[in-house]
Amino acid sequence: MHFRLPSTKAQPPPVKRSHFRRHLSRYILIVIFAVLLIYFFLPPFSNIRVMGVVNGNLTPVGPIFLARIDQEMVSCDTRVQRDQPLVLVSNELLAGQYQQNRYDAERSIDLAKNESTNGVIAAQAAARSAKDAAQAALANYSRLAALYISTTKLAAVGAVGPAAVTVAHDQLLQARSQANAAIATEKQMALQVKQLKVAAKAKILAAQGQLKLQLAQQNSVDRRPLVAPVSGELLDCHAHLGEVVDAGNTLFKIFQPGKAYVTAFVPPTMVRQLRIHANAYVNIPGMGEIPAKVTSIQPEITKLPKLLTRYFWEQPQWTQYRVVRITFSNLSPSQRRRLLFGERVHVRIPLESWGKRVMEDF
């Protein structure tokens, strides 16, 4: 049996790796995870900053006929309420024409009444005559019926011959036919009276309706107030005392701050980073940043309006933009009243992380 004695030769100490090298892969994974977290889920660190203009639908106000401005009742650039009179307008030519039409309508009513009275009276007289004729025919028929009965009785005892019975029977048949005709004529004349009364009433009502229309038309052109169809700020006023304006011409435009929005102009290269319903902030002078939402992105290319051009490279021939509509969120009534149509504003749209956009898509 052999025993191996342990070697007494010194062994080299084990080489220890540094802490950083031992955990390098873990650090790399943490860094990658942090980068992905920042890219996909953390809030954005950049914004799209563009210029915009406070916009809104301007409601036009103007006369529907050729009109002369007789009185100005409001001042421009003031707030008006719905149905508030703005100016008094009139048209003497149309007023005279409508007045003549009113006289014609009144005469038509008188003629219709006279025609109704005379026609009904004549028809009633004819109906009375027909009734009298029918009563006379019935009386004659009753008399000849009694005569026929007595003749047949006399013929039965030989007092008269068959010829007398035949004559009495023929007279009875003729009287019955005449009585039936008279009764039919009486009914026809009575029906004619009713029809004439209905027709006359309808004709009078039609003439009265025409008179009402002519009165309304005359009143509409005789110093008629032109009222505001909506509440808002009165802009772009073109009403001057004594001026004659054509039908359909716009005398005023009304801006409704409650329906105001911002038209922002974004370079096409930035539009692909925007999304509908994305948060936005509108910086209005004197009000600070106002929260808003991106509500639409127009599909066409447009030029920058002159209001927003400040440098030569922003001229229309050098630039192209996409129109983005920004709608305000939860503005107070006092803030909306301070909005000015056409005011230049700054718009800030925070960019959303890629992960958030993917989550919203799902």
Per-residue pLDDT of the chain (362 residues; tens, 9 = 90+): 454 555 555 555 554 555 555 566 776 777 776 666 655 555 455 788 998 999 988 899 988 777 778 888 888 888 899 999 998 887 655 555 566 666 677 777 777 777 666 666 777 777 777 777 778 878 887 887 887 788 887 777 777 778 877 887 888 788 788 878 778 877 887 777 777 777 777 777 777 777 777 666 656 556 678 889 999 999 888 888 888 888 888 999 999 988 899 999 998 888 888 889 899 999 988 888 999 999 999 988 888 887 777 655 555 555 788 999 999 988 888 888 888 888 899 999 988 655 555 455 45
Asked whether the beta carbons of 295 and 326 are under 8 A apart, the reply is yes
What's residue 265's pLDDT? 92
Asked whether the beta carbons of 293 and 274 are under 8 A apart, the reply is no
Q: Is 22 exposed, middle or buried (0-12, 13-18, 19+ CB in 10 A)?
A: exposed
What's residue 325's pLDDT? 95
What's residue 1's pLDDT? 46
What's residue 128's pLDDT? 77
**C-alpha span between 157 and 259 (Å, rounded):** 111
What's residue 146's pLDDT? 83
Sign of the Cα torsion 247, 250, 256, 260 reads: positive
What's residue 258's pLDDT? 86
**pTM assigned to the model:** 0.52
Asked whether the beta carbons of 172 and 141 are under 8 A apart, the reply is yes
What's residue 35's pLDDT? 61
Roughly how many angstroms between the first and final C-alpha of the chain, as a whole number?
79
**C-alpha span between 71 and 89 (Å, rounded):** 7
What's residue 194's pLDDT? 79
What's residue 237's pLDDT? 86
